[in-house]
């Protein structure tokens, strides 16, 4: 049986970007749907992140890889540091 990651064991979360990813989608006017976000990620980075994968990430049920965080930031037009919770500014000054 697969063991939970250290982050999940300590915090009951699989990733640290769930809330910020959801917020970044909502910052667009109109807010981006999960499907539109998936399409943007594919167009910008070439990575296939499905709507269902995004749901699991936003619900803290799936871990994310570093290259996925970068793809999310590029597709949503936000700073990687925003997604990681390092800064509260979505876009650098």
* Reported pTM: 0.85
pLDDT tens per residue, range 60-69: 999 999 999 9
- Cα separations in angstroms, 90 against 14, 30, 40, 76: 22, 17, 18, 10
6-83 has which CATH code?
Answer: 1.10.260
Q: How does pLDDT run across 16-58, given as a tens digit for each residue?
A: 999 999 999 999 999 999 999 999 999 999 999 999 999 999 9
What is the domain partition of the chain in residue ranges?
6-83
């Amino acid at each position: 049986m697969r063991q939970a990651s250290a982050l999940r064991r300590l915090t009951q979360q699989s990733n640290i970007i769930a809330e910020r990813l959801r917020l970044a989608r909502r910052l667009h006017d109109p807010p981006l749907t999960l499907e539109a976000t998936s399409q943007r990620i594919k167009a910008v980075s070439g990575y296939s992140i499905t709507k269902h994968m995004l749901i699991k990430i936003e619900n803290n049920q799936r871990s994310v890889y570093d290259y996925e965080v970068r793809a999310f930031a590029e597709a949503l037009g936000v700073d990687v540091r925003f997604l990681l919770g390092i800064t509260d500014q979505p876009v650098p000054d």
